[in-house]
């Protein structure tokens, strides 16, 4: 067991920290884990560079954050014998799919708490991931806008995320023998607060996800479109964002409850291979 306490260094003023001094191929001591957990809640995104870990070791460490999830529609894309581990593999035959700001799986009633992503193969240039701080996205809005958004919810629909607007995702599923239209035919849209309270920190965060959100409820259709357009531009504010340039062996874990991310699809036809895990979460709520 590694008894070394990790070193935590912010990677940007807005979000994210680099964690060094831990070998994740070894068991992490309770004291070191407490340091990691505190940093997770403070910085939202943690980067563990230079890790040489197996699938089992990624699962073991990620499970310290909470139970691991399986997704029935992703099973054909998982590591054999490890249904929790999705293989994200893009190359000349398989272009990158989603190139949009989002938080993972918001179209489900209980979206993931967090995501763990391990870089096995990275392109020499490109393939960065951008992370946005949704605490700051809420806190930098004017008081009247905050008050309005606190009263509203948004509809999230899985069928939108796997619909014609995201053709590469559809193609990826169909190549693996899954018809997204049939897979999600019985999946009803869900309603989440537009501003959610983080259950651990108590802070409020903006909670939207472009691929999933179909409308803001409680306002007219035109008002919904205008608000969504404004919020989508707002989360792209540079001061909210950290851009991570991947290196082979990076493990990055982020908090989906207060973070959005965008995987930049600029590296085609070069290869990028990642292993992804989702950590089970709870139904989003707002505490007034």
Burial of residue 254, with CB atoms counted within 10 A of its CB: 0-12 exposed, 13-18 middle, 19 or more buried? buried
Which among 102, 244, 257, 275 is annotated as catalytic?
A: 102
Q: Residue 230 to residues 46, 234, 235: CA-CA distances in angstroms?
A: 28, 6, 9
Would you call 199 helix, strand, or coil by DSSP?
coil
Distance, C-alpha 278 to centroid of its chain: 9
Known catalytic residue: 156? no
DSSP string, 47-102: EE-S----HHHHHHHHTTSS-B---GGGGGGEETTEEEEEEEEESSSS-----S-B
CA-wise closest residue to 232 among 140, 157, 151, 137:
137
CA-wise closest residue to 28 among 53, 60, 68:
60
Known catalytic residue: 250? no
DSSP string, 96-149: ----S-B-TTTTSSS--SEEEEEEEE--SS---EEEEEHHHHHHTS-HHHHHHH
CA-wise closest residue to 219 among 210, 211, 209, 229:
229
Which among 198, 257, 261, 272 is annotated as catalytic?
A: 261
Which among 192, 198, 275, 276 is annotated as catalytic?
A: 276
Known catalytic residue: 71? no
What is the residue whose two structure tokens read 């409680």?
Answer: 218
What is the residue whose two structure tokens read 């990158």?
Answer: 96
Known catalytic residue: 261? yes
Which among 18, 104, 196, 215 is annotated as catalytic?
A: 104
Q: Strands 7-10, 17-20: parallel, antiparallel or unpaired by DSSP? A: antiparallel
Distance, C-alpha 64 to centroid of its chain: 17
DSSP state of 28: B
Active site residue ranges: 102, 104, 261, 276
């Amino acid at each position: 067991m590694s008894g070394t306490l990790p070193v935590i260094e912010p990677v940007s003023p807005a979000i994210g920290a680099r964690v060094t001094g831990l070998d994740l191929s070894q068991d992490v001591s309770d004291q070191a884990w407490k340091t990691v957990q505190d940093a997770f809640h403070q910085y939202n995104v943690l980067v563990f560079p230079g890790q040489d870990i197996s699938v089992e070791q990624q699962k073991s460490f990620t499970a310290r954050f909470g139970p691991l999830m399986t997704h029935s529609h992703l099973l054909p894309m998982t590591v054999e014998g490890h249904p929790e581990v999705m293989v994200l593999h893009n190359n000349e035959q398989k272009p990158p799919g989603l190139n949009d700001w989002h938080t993972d799986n918001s179209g489900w009633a209980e979206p993931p708490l967090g995501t763990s992503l391990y870089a096995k193969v990275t392109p020499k240039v490109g393939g960065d991931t951008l992370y946005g701080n949704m605490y700051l996205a809420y806190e930098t809005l004017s008081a009247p806008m905050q008050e309005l958004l606190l009263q509203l919810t948004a509809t999230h629909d899985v069928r939108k995320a796997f619909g014609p607007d995201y053709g590469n995702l559809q193609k990826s599923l169909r190549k693996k023998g899954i018809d997204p239209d049939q897979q999600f035919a019985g999946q009803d849209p869900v309603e989440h607060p537009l501003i959610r309270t983080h259950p651990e920190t108590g802070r409020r965060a903006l909670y939207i996800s472009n691929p999933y959100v179909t409308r803001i409820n409680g306002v007219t259709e035109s008002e919904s479109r205008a608000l969504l357009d404004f919020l989508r531009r707002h989360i792209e504010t540079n001061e909210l964002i950290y851009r991570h340039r991947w290196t082979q062996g990076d493990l990055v874990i982020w908090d989906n409850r207060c973070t959005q991310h965008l995987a930049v699809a600029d590296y085609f036809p070069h290869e990028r291979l990642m292993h992804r895990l989702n950590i089970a979460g709870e139904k989003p709520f707002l505490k007034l």
